Amino acid sequence: MENETVIGCAIETIRQRIGAACERAGRSADEVRLLPASKTQPASALLEAYRVGITRFGENRVQEVVAKAAELESTTIEFAVIGHLQSNKASKVAELACEFQALDSLKLAQRLERHLADLDKTLEVMIEVNSSAEESKFGLDPADVVDFARELEVFEHLRPIGLMTLAKPSSDPAVVGACFDRIRRLRDDLNSRQIGSHDWPELSMGMSNDFELAIEHGSTCVRVGSAIFGQRS
């Protein structure tokens, strides 16, 4: 292999594990995309991943997206923002991101819409859902998701594609799996009731410690950080 860097090899391993998890779940490997979560990593680390075919990265902080977008300008790398966003940072996300996975308020949707309209641009969005109740402070209560999803229909520059969640951090797969199942049922409900008059294909669930379980529960996008880039300092 041409690019035998530590990060390149780690990505190959994760791809194999995704493939094996898909096979166990009776799913096709192309139903699941790997979104490396590159927060705190330098642009050079993203370049190592880029050399083995990764073009989209998940980032949490807007400042890091601004810096990395500038450093990596000569590549085709693009950014998905996957972390909670304050509405005063909406303009940078509208400008620099191709996808935003942590939509959790109408105010933020309005701000994004306004900036996107100015830029004449659309943004793929996922609604972040709090599947673990007490553990996470971000994301909508599952009970509020259908109404919220309906309200997004008026925003012409937002393209809602699915739901995102962080499972409860637990070593018990039954507990983690129950979080994933709850969000999957909610997504299936959006589809069967045709909320927003479009499909909701995506379920962003699973991180380094639980992505295989998430795939068994229907994930279409796994956000993997430390298993690719090593532990964050």
Ligand X SMILES: *Cc1c(COP(=O)(O)O)cnc(C)c1O
* Ramachandran region, residue 36 (left: φ > 0; alpha: ψ -120 to 50; beta: rest): beta
Q: What DSSP string runs through 78-128?
A: EEEE-S---GGGHHHHHHHEEEEEEE--HHHHHHHHHHHHHHT--EEEEEE
Please state the closest distance from residue 2 (CB atom) to ligand X, in A: 26
Dig out the tokens for 26 from the structure.
Answer: 């009776």
Of 19, 83, 177, 196, which lies in the binding site for ligand X, with binding defined by CB under 6 A? 83
Of 33, 39, 159, 198, which lies in the binding site for ligand X, with binding defined by CB under 6 A? 39
Question: Are 193 and 200 contacting, i.e. CB atoms less than 8 angstroms apart?
Answer: no
Q: Is 103 in the site for ligand X (CB under 6 A)?
A: no
Please state the closest distance from residue 229 (CB atom) to ligand X, in A: 8
Say which residues have a Cβ less than 8 Å from residue 171's Cβ, sequence separation at least 6.
Answer: none
Q: Is 40 in the site for ligand X (CB under 6 A)?
A: no
Give the CA radius of gyration of the chain.
Answer: 17
3-state secondary structure of 46: helix
Q: Is 139 in the site for ligand X (CB under 6 A)?
A: no
Question: Are 22 and 28 contacting, i.e. CB atoms less than 8 angstroms apart?
Answer: yes
Binding mask 58-77 for ligand X (x = CB under 6 A): --x-----------------
Please state the closest distance from residue 88 (CB atom) to ligand X, in A: 20
Closer to ligand X by Cβ: residue 142 or 225: 225
Q: Is 226 in the site for ligand X (CB under 6 A)?
A: yes
Q: Is 13 in the site for ligand X (CB under 6 A)?
A: no
Please state the closest distance from residue 129 (CB atom) to ligand X, in A: 13
- Site residues (vs ligand X, CB under 6 A): 37, 39, 60, 82-83, 207-209, 223-227
